[in-house]
Amino acid sequence: MRRRIIAGNWKMNKTVSETRDFVNGLKPLAADAECEVVLCVPFTDVAIAAETAKGTNIHVGAQNVAWAESGAFTGEISASMLKDVGAEFVIIGHSERRAMFGDTDATVNKRLKTALGAGLKPIVCIGETLDEREGGKTEEVLARQVKGFAEGLTKEDMEKVVVAYEPVWAIGTGKTATTEVAVETVKFVRSVLAELFGEVANGVRIQYGGSMNGNNATALMASGDIDGGLIGGASLKPEEFIKVIKA
């Protein structure tokens, strides 16, 4: 049975003091959560989020990780640095990183292997643009991205990976894939994983990440094929985030 996982991606939002207040506000609300709850926060907030969440069921993650352990990589941050300040999870390959900061299938694969080697739990993002979907290329794009991030991974590695399917056209736009489209696409992603890893694919958790909120989360996860959400805007207020967690 795959345990559901709801992860908040704060993107570039919240100061240290705002993070402390948020986590303190979320703790009583999420105390009885029946899913895994993760907050993926800016690098500057990881330590305070982890400290404030200590002893609770709230897990903390970062939003990117370098593929190198140290060296001349200005602006990057290593897996050991993240672990040292309390990160447990890390987002890799978010569409904004791919579109604006040059991440490719190859660099996502390198970051993923580094995260796994350090004991971080990766949330790897895949997804198609609107042009790709309208052009009938969704499956082609997703298959390429899955095979790209999975290159060189063992079955044991894959068991530790969470996959986030995030249609790029639905991120931060208020648009959401219909339940049918989201479920169909997630099933396709799992079929590609099955080609690569056999039965292990049945245990891989696949989230939906495209404007999921408290109003649509129940419908999106009702089929049992979608194992949670990577939540953007709705994760920035405890009272909104908890609606998705409860759903």
Distance of CA 91 to the CA centre of its chain: 5
Q: Specify the DSSP class assigned to residue 2.
A: P
Residues near 71 by beta carbon (within 8 Å), at least 6 away in sequence: none
Neighbours of 49 (CB within 10 A): 28
Q: How many angstroms separate the CA atoms of 48 and 170, rounded?
A: 31
Q: Which one is catalytic: 36, 128, 132, 166?
A: 166
Residue type, 190: R
| DSSP per-residue letters across 135-164 | TT-HHHHHHHHHHHHHTT--HHHHTT-EEE
Q: How many angstroms separate the CA atoms of 63 and 46, rounded?
A: 10
- Which is nearest to 168 in space by CA: 129, 223, 115, 139? 129
196 three-state secondary structure:
helix
**Whole-number CA gyration radius for the chain:** 17
Is 94 considered catalytic here? Answer: yes
Q: Which one is catalytic: 36, 59, 94, 132?
A: 94
Is 156 considered catalytic here? Answer: no
Active-site positions read 94, 166
